[in-house]
Structure formats: C-alpha cells, structure tokens
Amino acid sequence: MIIFTFCWTFGFFIFLNFGIFCNYYTFKMSVKLDDLKQDLELYEAKKATLLGVAKTAFELAKKIDEENNHALLKARCQSLPAVRDSFIEVLDKWNSCKMQIDSTHTPDYSDLDKVLVYCGHAQAKLEKALAAEVVPVRTERSKVRLPALELPSFSGEFSEFNVFYESFKSLIHDNKELDNTQKVQYLVSKLSGKALTVCAGVPATVDNYSIIFNNLVEKYQCKRSQAKAYLSNILNFKQIKGESPDQLNSLIDELCASVLALKKVDLDSLSDFMLAHITLSKIDSETARLFEMSLKSGEIPTFSKVHNFLKDQVKILTRLEAPTSGPSKVVASTSQKTSPPNKGNLVFPCTRYSPQSKALEILAAM
C-alpha cells in the first residue's frame, strides 16, 4: 500500500510538472511569435518609407524642368545611395522574419528592382541637368569664357564611348556659341590612350575638327564593338566571395549595368550574338583574322555564319594537307659510301629539304 501511494504521488508530480512545462513552452513560443510580428511590422514600415523616398526622387526627376524641382532633386539624390543600401538590409531582415513566422514563405525581392530603377533614373536625370548648366559666353571673341564643364575623358574603351559622346555632343559639338577652334581643343584635350589614334597624322586645327570628330564617331560608335565590350565585362566578372553588401553592390553596379547596356544595343538577336562571340573567342588568331576579313563593313556576325565559316575552313585545311605516301623507293643515306665524283664535276650533298626531291619521292612511291 505504501509503495502504491508512493508511485501514485510520484506519477502525479511528474504529470503536474509536465503540464507546467508545456504551458511555459507554449507561453515562450507565443512571446517569441509576438516579437517576430512586431519586428515584421517595423521592417514593413521601414520598407515603405525607403521605397517612398526613392519614388519621390523618381517623380521629381520626371518633372525636373519645373520650378524648384531641380534643387529638390539634387537634395534627394545625395541620400539615394544610403537609401538603396538601407533598403537591401531591411528587405533581408523582412524576409528572415517572414520565414520564421511562416516556414512556407518564399523570399521576395521584387521591390528591390523598383528601388534600383527609381534611384538610377533620378541620378541620371540630375547628372544630365547638371551637365547642361553652361556659364554664359560673352559676345566678344577676344574674351570668350568657355563653359565651366566637367566633361568625361575618353581613353578608347568602347563601353565608355556612349557616355562621352552624349556629353560632348550636347555640350560642345552642338553649342553654337563655340567655334571649331574651341571645339577641336576641347575634343583633343579629353582624348587619351587608344582614342588619340584618330588624331594621328591629322593636325588639331579648325579645318580638321569635323574630320577628327567624324573619325572618332565612325570608329567607336560600332554596335558590335560596344556589345562585345559589355559582354566581355559580363563574362570576365569574378565570382563574389562571401555575403556582403559591398560585394553585392559591386555586382549590381558593374555586372548588372553591363547587362542593361548590352540589352540597349540594337542587335537583331542578342542570344545569337552571344553564341557567335563565345565561339569566336575559342578559335585561334589566324582563323579569327580570316573570318573577320570575310565580313562586310559593319556586318554583325551570326552564329550560323560562324558555324558555316568554320566548316568551310575544315574543308580547305583538309585539302591543303600534304598527301601521305608509303615508304620511298629512293632512300638517301649519309652513312652509305658514294662513288667518287668525276673529274671536273663538283658534287655537293644536299643539306636542306627540297620540294623537288619530295615530289620525286612521291612519284617514285606511286
């Protein structure tokens, strides 16, 4: 009886403690869930605020010509890099909370694209507006004040030409207040590296300004070369190591920018161009040179054209290969004794390969 009473009492004690533990665990989980929901509400509020800041800058950029919008946009754009970085951080935390509350939740980063578009458009509009601000030029030719501009330089990289061309054309080339003497000096002063080759042999004078400018445009405003430069940037971009905002920003600023620029190049088929480019990068330099010579001026090669050219090259090289022959019936050996030469006739042994001797060997073997 004593044993029964002891067992019953011990069992009741265990049952009572188990119930208390379950209630305590349920309480703790409820508190944690409430904390997660509060954090989620906080992150949603931050998301909405940051997205609103970026959208406001975007709306100001669309109406930048209206009064006071230029100054407001300039003030907004100063904070856009911080807005973009903060939004990425908040979006990561928001997705983490959602996944802890609901295990079936799929991470959602669709709003990130909106923020990047808003920030990029606003900054581009502001840069264009600032570049258009020109200091007035006096009418007196002897006291001309050139525009206080920050024109980008151009070193000969195809991926940089569009930015240089648009800035130079709108601010200098199309500026009727400047004559060709000033324009040519501006142009030459902003060229460096490979880009200076367009001036080789052409003096930077007023009469040669149009020649230098047109040569520059003809050489670098090439859709194929620009697309090739952007694609090379994409293919050569190194894989990021580790998860960090700085490396992700580098990916967005460099690789994604090259992707967007590549899409804007007016190509008939982007995928076909990429296949042709990758294929051409795998062949030897001599074959690549022959292929480039087969193209028309300004022609953008397709993968089909590259493929057909390579098949034709295989046929040509196969036909040019020397035919194989069996063992020659005429064998020259330096170790064999030769008969003494006739008097009056000098005989010298052949120390070099002779095409005629090879032809004779082939004929002898037939």
Residue that has been written with the tokens 């920030």 in this structure: 119
- The tokens for 194 are 């490979």
Could you give the CA distance from residue 96 to residue 94 in angstroms, rounded to a whole number? Answer: 5
pLDDT for residue 363: 36
pLDDT for residue 149: 57
pLDDT for residue 134: 52
Name the helix (H) or strand (E) containing 318.
helix 303-320
pLDDT for residue 323: 62
- The tokens for 154 are 């151009």
pLDDT for residue 79: 81
Residue of 85, 59, 86 lying closest to 72 (CA atoms):
59
Q: What DSSP designation does 257 have? A: H
Could you give the CA distance from residue 78 to residue 95 in angstroms, rounded to a whole number? Answer: 28
pLDDT for residue 10: 60
Residue that has been written with the tokens 């600032």 in this structure: 130
Low-confidence residues of the chain, pLDDT below 50? 135-136, 139, 142, 328-339, 341-366
pLDDT for residue 19: 56
Residues in the chain: 366
Which parts of 63-157 fold into alpha helices (H)?
69-77, 80-101, 110-131
Residue that has been written with the tokens 């002898």 in this structure: 364
Q: What is the pTM of this model?
A: 0.38
pLDDT for residue 224: 76
Could you give the CA distance from residue 76 to residue 310 in angstroms, rounded to a whole number? Answer: 55
Max distance between CA atoms of the chain, in angstroms, equals 144
